[in-house]
Structure 1
């Protein structure tokens, strides 16, 4: 199985995944979110099969085959606005952060006190 090297960066407003996918077109790559918490990047590098029978490989160093990388997304990932783009053999996936929840603030308020008489037995 081939692999794709990935850098993961955290910015103030997003998480950025940058993967090396040399020789692949954007149509060769699949980006998915599984179970609302896992970013999945997959694809396949194909070897040139259109060679004639009289050519044999002397050395093969470039990996070929399917690749798959999975990353756990943080709880504050905004899954609705993920974007991905592939250019010059580099895939960039941007996962925006959801706005922080309002922290719980204790409230102070007045309770009106009325006058009444309690009948006790």
Structure 2
């Protein structure tokens, strides 16, 4: 996220985002710029997680985003990834400029490791009034096995 968009246009702040280094410098032990931006996005995206008997529900604030701007994915490692990006609104009138800009712009992201009993095929996502609700159903527990009776023959 460009700090200048948040009102930090002072030269003192210009080098802060370069602190993490460049993505191409894999020899460095410092985290990459992409990692730092993703970490910031995750820290700034509030979420609640509820466990129900048959499902898990993730509630994430996604202010200003439409459902088409939000991406919900599950990868092979059972990681639920939720992301989106709130862009700065285009200025409506020529010559208008922001006097103060406090609303957050930039990337929104959260990642959750799903439990083993989560059914990756039964996930729904609904966005209403800037709040995304993702429901992940549980795999039903296996039915208890009935004992099998074996006939004893006289032999």
TM range (shorter): 0.7 to 0.9
Aligned residues: 114
Larger strand percent: 1
Residue in 2 aligned with 1:117? none
Larger Rg: 1
- Could you say what the CA RMSD is over the residues aligned between the two structures, in angstroms? 2.2
Whole-angstrom distance in 2 between the partners of 1:106 and 1:69: 46
- Provide structure 1 residue ranges, at least 5 long, that are not aligned to the other structure: 115-121
User: TM-score, normalised to structure 1's length?
Assistant: 0.80
Helix, strand or coil at the partner of 1:61 = coil
Q: Are 2:55 and 1:41 aligned?
A: no
What stretches of structure 1 move > 4 A for 4+ residues in a row?
103-113
Distance (whole Å) between structure 1 residues aligned to residue 124 and residue 77 of structure 2? 15
State the structure with bigger RCO (CA 8 A, min sep 6), 1 or 2.
1
- CA–CA separation in structure 2 for the residues paired with 1:113 and 1:47: 85
Specify every segment of 5 or more residues in structure 2 that has no aligned partner in the other structure, as ranges: 2-40
1:58-69 matches, within 5 Å, as 58-69=99-110
Question: More helix per residue: 1 or 2?
Answer: 2
Contact map agreement 1:36 1:79 (CA 8 A) in 2: no
Give TM-score scaled by structure 2 length.
0.64
Q: 1:100 aligns with which of 130, 141, 144?
A: 141
